[in-house]
């Protein structure tokens, strides 16, 4: 009687141990380590002084905001007069940096004089 019962007991013990082991294993869930926030590389792309466009481009881009180029093309001015005109346009709202202003005035003085 006892001999016949043994395999079942062993099977039961193995089963119970197996279940316990499976459950026990689950308690050891490794907490997901939160990765360190990726460092955002700030690449300084802005150059110290941006390249200045040529006079024709500046005229096309900055001087057609309020009026057509007709005003410019019909005008005949000396370098000094263009300097004053461009300065006045800047006061009105034309967007030109110092370097761009110089390039544009030179271009205007050569082309529309
Ligand atoms: C913010 C608006 C604005 C922008 C930008 C602008 N203008 Fe003008 N421009 C005006 C106005 C308003 C007048 C008419 C009143 C006057 O002559 O001041 C005018 C008139 C002119 C005239 C005719 C009067 C004159 O003095 O011969 C010329 C030439 C001229 N602009 C050139 C330019 C050039 C070159 C640029 C680019 C640097 C430019 N403008 C950009 C507003 C602007």
Position 25 in a domain: no
Q: How many domains does the chain have?
A: 1
pTM of the model: 0.69
pLDDT in tens, 49-81: 778 999 999 999 999 999 999 999 999 999 999
Spacing, Cα 50 to ligand 1 middle (Å): 25
CATH code, domain carrying 66? 1.10.760.10
Q: Which residues contact 90 (CB under 8 A, 6 or more apart)?
A: 96, 101
Domain enclosing residue 69, as ranges? 55-111
pLDDT in tens, 15-30: 667 666 766 655 555 5
**For residues 5 and 83, which has the higher predicted lDDT (pLDDT)?**
83
Give, using CA atoms, the residue closest to atom 22 of ligand 1. 71
**For residues 93 and 37, which has the higher predicted lDDT (pLDDT)?**
93
Ligand 1 pocket mutation pick from 53, 58, 69, 89 by most atoms within 8 angstroms of CB: 89
Dihedral sign, Cα of residue 10, residue 14, residue 19, residue 20: positive
One DSSP character per residue, 77-95 reads --HHHHHHHHHHHHHHT--
User: What pLDDT band is residue 109 in, cutting at 50, 70 and 90?
Assistant: very high
Position 103 in a domain: yes
Position 9 in a domain: no
Measured in degrees and rounded to the nearest 5, phi and psi for residue 32 equal -65, 115
Position 70 in a domain: yes
pLDDT in tens, 33-54: 656 656 666 555 555 677 899 9
User: What pLDDT band is residue 110 in, cutting at 50, 70 and 90?
Assistant: very high
Position 15 in a domain: no
Measured in degrees and rounded to the nearest 5, phi and psi for residue 39 equal -70, 120
Position 32 in a domain: no
Rounded CA gap, 109 and 105, in Å?
Answer: 6
Rounded CA gap, 102 and 35, in Å?
Answer: 53
């Amino acid at each position: 009687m006892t001999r016949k019962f043994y395999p079942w007991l062993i099977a039961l013990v193995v089963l119970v141990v197996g279940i316990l082991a499976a459950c026990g294993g689950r308690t050891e869930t490794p907490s997901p380590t939160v990765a360190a926030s990726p460092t955002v590389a700030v690449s300084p792309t802005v150059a110290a002084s941006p390249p200045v466009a040529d006079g024709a481009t500046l005229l096309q881009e900055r001087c057609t905001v309020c009026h057509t180029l007709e005003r410019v093309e019909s005008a005949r001015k000396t370098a000094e007069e263009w300097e004053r005109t461009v300065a006045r346009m800047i006061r009105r709202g034309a967007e030109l940096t110092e370097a761009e202003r110089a390039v544009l005035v030179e271009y205007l003085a050569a082309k529309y004089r």
